[in-house]
Copies of this chain bind each other. A is one copy, B any other.
Amino acid sequence: MDVKPPEAALEEADTLCQRRGVRLTAQRRQVLQILCAARRPLGAYEILEAMRDGSRPLAPPTVYRALDFLLEQGLVHKLESLHAYVGCTHPDHPHFSQFLICADCGLVTELEDEAIAASLKSAASETGFRPRRRVVEVIGTCANCAGKATD
């Protein structure tokens, strides 16, 4: 598996934000760190819970504000079908990605498939539709879980 360690993702985010002239504050960074460290999508309240180091009391707007920033910067994605968030696996370039979501183990794979992008674009343009945002999520069973089931 070529999953980047969370530290690398965070350093990349630092660089990107600096280059863009936006501020990856401690709190935003912490949310990103929590998302990258988790091996699965997290709900806003799960992130909130993880942010509470037993010390501060934190309210929902705190995490939603951080998420808004991270979403705008393309550092995290929202999974609409789960109401949950994941760290982006390749935030260095703007992209629209697709997600394979395992309903059994929670594994999420972020794809950047040209053929899917092209077919969507073509279908939209046929009707004169101008795409802005694209939500592509496939819920099913990952190879690992499928293998176990058929053993």
B123 to A133, Cβ gap below 8 A? no
Complex contacts, A123 vs chain B, CB 8 Å? 98, 100, 111, 113, 115-116
Classify chain A: how many residues form its interface, as a range.
Answer: 35 or more
Complex contacts, A118 vs chain B, CB 8 Å? 119
Least distance between A85 CB and chain B CB atoms (Å) = 14
A58 close to chain B: CB less than 8 A: no
A interface residues (Cβ-Cβ under 8 A, vs B): 80-81, 98, 100, 102-103, 109, 111, 113, 115-116, 118-120, 122-124, 127-143, 146-147
| New A-B contacts (10) at CB < 8 Å, excluding given A124-B140, A132-B139 | A80-B81, A80-B137, A81-B133, A109-B127, A111-B123, A120-B136, A120-B138, A127-B143, A131-B138, A133-B139
